[in-house]
Chain A
Amino acid sequence: MAAARTAARLATRLLERPWLWAFAAAFLVWLATIIFTKGQGGGEILSAALAFGTFSVIVGIGQMYVITLGPGNVDLSIPATMTFAGAASMKIMATQDSMIVVGLLIALACGAAIGVFNYGLIRLMRIPPIIATLSSSFVFQSAAIAYGRGIKIKPPPSLADFTTARIAGFPILAICTVILALVMTVVLHKTVYGRSVIAIGQNARAAKLSGIAVDFTRFVTYVMCATLAGLCGFVLSGFSGGASLNMGAEFLLASIAVVVIGGTSVAGGFANIPGLWGAALFMFLLVTMLNTFGLGAGIRLVMTGLIIITVITVAGGKSTDR
Chain B
Amino acid sequence: MSKVLTTAVLAVGLALPATAAIADTADKRIALSNNYAGNSWRQAMLKSWGKVGDQAVADGVIAAADAFTTAENQVTEQAAQIQNLILQGYDAIVINAASPDALNGAVKEACDAGITVVSFDGIVTEPCAWRIAVDFKQMGKDEVLYLSEKVPNGGALLEIRGLAGVFVDDEISAGIHEGVAETSGFEVVGSVHGDWAQDVSQKAVAGILPSLPEITAVVTQGGDGFGAAQAFKAAGRPIPLIIMGNRHDELTWWKEQKDASGYETMSVSIAPGVSTLAMWVAQQILDGQDIPKDLTVPFLRIDQDNLEENLANTEVGGVANVEYTLEDAQAVVNAAR
A contacts, CB < 8 Å to B: 33, 36-37, 40-45, 48-49, 51-52, 138, 141, 145, 148-153, 164, 236, 240-242, 244-247, 249-250, 284-285, 287-288, 291-292, 294, 297-298, 300-301
Contacts and interface: CB of A to CB of B under 8 A. Distances in A.
B43 A48 contact: no
A301 to B, nearest CB: 6
B288 interface: no
Interface of B: 37-40, 42-44, 47, 71, 161, 164-165, 190-193, 197-200, 202-204, 206-211, 226-227, 230, 234-235, 248-249, 315-318
Contacts of B164: 297-298, 300-301
A52 B318 CA distance: 26
A294 B159 CA distance: 11
Given A152-B316, A244-B39, A244-B197, 12 more contacts: A40-B211, A41-B211, A44-B209, A51-B234, A52-B206, A150-B317, A151-B40, A241-B230, A245-B43, A246-B39, A291-B207, A294-B191
Contacts of B40: 150-152, 244-245
17 contacts: A36-B211, A40-B210, A41-B210, A42-B210, A48-B210, A150-B42, A150-B44, A151-B318, A152-B248, A242-B317, A287-B204, A288-B207, A291-B192, A294-B190, A297-B161, A297-B164, A301-B164
A145 B317 CA distance: 12
Given A36-B211, A236-B199, A291 B204 contact: yes
Nearest to B199: A240
Nearest to B192: A291
A215 B42 CA distance: 42
A263 B120 CA distance: 46
Contacts of A292: 190, 208, 211
Contacts of A249: 197
Most chain B CB neighbours (cut-off 10 Å) among A36, A41, A48, A250: A48
Contacts of B318: 150-151
Contacts of A40: 210-211
Contact of A44 (B192, B235, B248): B235
A245 B38 contact: yes
